[in-house]
Amino acid sequence: GGGTGESLASSGEKLFQELSCSTCHRPDSGGRGPVLDGLFGRTVSLAGGGSVAADEAYLRESIVNPQAKVVAGYQPLMPTFQGLVSEEGLLQLIAYIKELRAASPPGTGQPGQ
């Protein structure tokens, strides 16, 4: 941290909560949407076959047109956020999702066993 203003990712985290994304996209597999932790940079299997790299273009498309590429094993339940999220908001959400990691790295304040 440090510096003035919020990072794109921390603004994205707030937006993620405000838009209720966390209702379906949870860190465990208990949500109705795919787990986003560790998603960025991976290859995603799609419903109906095929796969796609989870890059910035894929994340952007999945926010504004979520029915375009549905992850295998999930229903196309996500509403579109086209026109509801500004360009700045999209950049913030993408930055936040890129920072989500599958496991907490050492030194993140996790209590000892």
Identify the structural domains of the chain with CATH numbers, from first to last.
Answer: 8-99 (1.10.760.10)
pLDDT of res. 5: 74
**Bridge partners, residue 71, by sequence:** 46
- pLDDT in the model for residue 77: 95
Count of C-beta atoms within a 10 Å radius of residue 40: 18
Paired tokens of 75: 């229903």
What phi, psi does 53 have (nearest 5°)? Answer: -80, 135
- For the chain, which residues score pLDDT lower than 50? 1-3, 107-113
Whole-angstrom CA distances from 61 to 25, 44, 58, 87, 108 are: 16, 14, 5, 12, 31
Cα 59 to Cα 13: distance, rounded to the nearest angstrom: 15
Cβ pair 47, 72 in contact under 8 A = yes
